[in-house]
Chains A and B, each alone.
Chain A
Amino acid sequence: METKTGDPLIRLGLLEEALNLARANSLWPLTFGLACCAIEMMAAGMARFDLDRFGAGVFRPSPRQSDLMIVAGTISKKMAPAVVRLYEQMPAPKWVIAMGNCAISGGPFYYPNQYAIVPGADLIIPVDVYIPGCPPRPEAIIESILMLEEKITKRGRLRKFRNVKG
């Protein structure tokens, strides 16, 4: 499991692998759209780009019921405490995807005199996957879910053709 929660107390061996496979294939994201990227996240969940076929289509409005937080949009300084609080309310194991340039590093709004935003989600919460783009295409969001699955299960999607070390 991830080192975020430390080494597990009990090692369950093969059961861990099965649990990780289950967690990876049924990620429940938190509806956390802050700005423009939220619309592309919605479009990724809709009929054409269907996130549901990867198990990640059940968007939960409450952080207590979700295990993935997709930070979609710019984090303003007024909103930052709320982001941290939502992250803390999610039960472990939990993952964070920083979607869009604003969540990675402040995006188009970062310049020397900026007073209003937090330039990057990883300044306040730990991030697992970064999706660049302004906004990223829904295909990129799907790719990020698949990369997160690889990170959770520590095995590549196409094991014969890729070398993924977990």
Chain B
Amino acid sequence: MLKDKIQAALAPLNLAQVSDGDYSKTGYHLEVAAAPGQMPAVAQALLEAGCFLESLTAVDLRESFTLVYHFASFDELCRTVVRASLAKETQEAQPPTISRVYPGADWYEREVYDLFGIKFAGHPNLKRLLLPEDADFHPLLKDFGAEPKND
């Protein structure tokens, strides 16, 4: 079973949490919590287990960011979500890039940088992707722009 294979591959990495997800409610089979520094090792383990990177994004939780990685597999259904929490003050401690393992993450990380301002250490080409190169704001931060008037 792919889920057991992934759990076995992640066991030696000493992650904060590896638990079953409630598929019918959330769409995840495995929920994993890791530290941002462990992400390249996690990505390598999942690549060897045969998974591909489905999506990479971030959520701004006001006091911190959460990087959310989704992995799935072509051969067997098992969706793994890996969440890495990133404190806002420690901007020097940038999360390492996983684009050495998954080249497809290159563009996803550029998009996260563009929309949130999170820089990835070791990224080959960290430029803005969607906004013009000379833009000076990160639109998906919760304190971007005035408060919306009424809806």
List, in ascending order, chain A residues with CB within 8 A of B144's CB: 115
CA of A126 to CA of B145 in the docked complex: distance in angstroms? 30
Q: Is A35 located at the chain interface by the 8 A CB criterion?
A: no
Some 16 contacts from A to B, beta carbons below 8 A apart, are: A77-B132, A78-B131, A78-B132, A111-B148, A112-B146, A112-B148, A112-B149, A113-B145, A113-B146, A113-B148, A115-B137, A115-B139, A115-B144, A115-B145, A116-B131, A116-B139
Q: How far is the CB of A19 from chain B (nearest CB, A)?
A: 41
The 6 closest A-B pairs by CB, nearest first: A78-B132, A113-B145, A115-B139, A113-B148, A112-B149, A112-B148
List, in ascending order, chain A residues with CB within 8 A of B137's CB: 115
Number of interface residues of B (CB under 8 A): 9
Within 8 A of B (CB), among A84-120: 111-113, 115-116
Interface residues of B (CB under 8 A from A): 131-132, 137, 139, 144-146, 148-149
Q: How far is the CB of A113 from chain B (nearest CB, A)?
A: 5
Residue of A nearest to B149 (CB): A112
CA of A4 to CA of B139 in the docked complex: distance in angstroms? 38
List, in ascending order, chain B residues with CB within 8 A of A113's CB: 145-146, 148
List, in ascending order, chain B residues with CB within 8 A of A111's CB: 148
Residue of A nearest to B132 (CB): A78
Q: How far is the CB of B61 from chain A (nearest CB, A)?
A: 20
Residue of B nearest to A80 (CB): B132
Q: How far is the CB of B17 from chain A (nearest CB, A)?
A: 36
Q: How far is the CB of B151 from chain A (nearest CB, A)?
A: 9
List, in ascending order, chain B residues with CB within 8 A of A78's CB: 131-132
List, in ascending order, chain A residues with CB within 8 A of B145's CB: 113, 115
CA of A77 to CA of B128 in the docked complex: distance in angstroms? 14
Residue of B nearest to A113 (CB): B145
List, in ascending order, chain A residues with CB within 8 A of B148's CB: 111-113
CA of A77 to CA of B132 in the docked complex: distance in angstroms? 8
CA of A78 to CA of B149 in the docked complex: distance in angstroms? 27
Residue of B nearest to A114 (CB): B145
